[in-house]
């Protein structure tokens, strides 16, 4: 965006990939227009140099923000429904027994990769356990 100069063409696949809100989208395209940069949305087939293109841009921007908000709402509702059904999200907790085993193996000179394989956890989890405050 900063490197764009007059005569350049700024291309995005879809409008909603560029900004999170209609206001932000307008601000970005205004910035581009002031620099003399053309804006093209491949999937939306927009030409913002014409009045019709500008109108379509505005409508598509509003619908893109609406779609993003609806997806966000559905995701939150789905997670809440899963929690009510007792479904847990996220990674499973590492038991205290496994943590003790990781520390003992590391103290005995085992490598983090070998410990991870033996305990069936990720190597990064081994390092997190070793860096935890008891």
* Statement: 9-84 belongs to CATH 3.40.50.1390: yes
Helix (H, G, I), strand (E, B) or coil at 39: strand
At residue 60, the pLDDT reads 83
pLDDT tens-digit readout, 98-133? 999 999 999 999 999 999 999 999 999 999 999 987
Task: Give the architecture-level CATH label for domain 96-131.
Answer: Orthogonal Bundle (1.10)
Cβ distance 26 to 62 under 8 Å? Answer: no
Contacts of 4 (CB under 8 A, 6+ apart): 10, 32, 35, 37
Domain ranges of the chain: 9-84, 96-131
Cβ distance 118 to 106 under 8 Å? Answer: no
- C-alpha to C-alpha distance for 48 and 120, rounded to whole angstroms: 54
At residue 53, the pLDDT reads 80
pLDDT tens-digit readout, 9-46? 888 888 777 887 888 888 888 888 889 988 888 887 87
Categorise residue 36: left if φ over 0, alpha if ψ from -120 to 50, beta otherwise.
Answer: left
Residues of the chain with pLDDT > 90, as a percent, come to: 39
At residue 134, the pLDDT reads 58
Question: Do the domains 96-131 and 9-84 match in fold?
Answer: no
Helix (H, G, I), strand (E, B) or coil at 9: strand
Is residue 49 over pLDDT 80?
Answer: no
């Amino acid at each position: 965006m900063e490197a764009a100069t007059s005569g350049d063409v700024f291309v995005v696949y879809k409008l909603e990939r560029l900004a999170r809100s209609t206001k932000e989208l307008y601000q970005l395209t205004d910035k581009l227009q002031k620099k003399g940069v053309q804006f093209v949305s491949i999937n939306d087939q927009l030409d913002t140099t014409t009045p019709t293109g500008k109108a379509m841009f505005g409508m598509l921007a509003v619908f893109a923000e609406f779609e993003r908000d609806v997806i966000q709402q559905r995701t939150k509702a789905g997670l809440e429904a899963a929690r009510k059904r007792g479904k847990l999200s996220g990674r499973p907790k590492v038991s205290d027994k496994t943590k003790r085993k990781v520390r003992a193996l590391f103290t005995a000179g085992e490598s983090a990769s070998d410990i991870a394989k033996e305990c069936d956890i990720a190597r990064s989890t081994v390092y997190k356990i070793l860096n935890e405050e008891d």
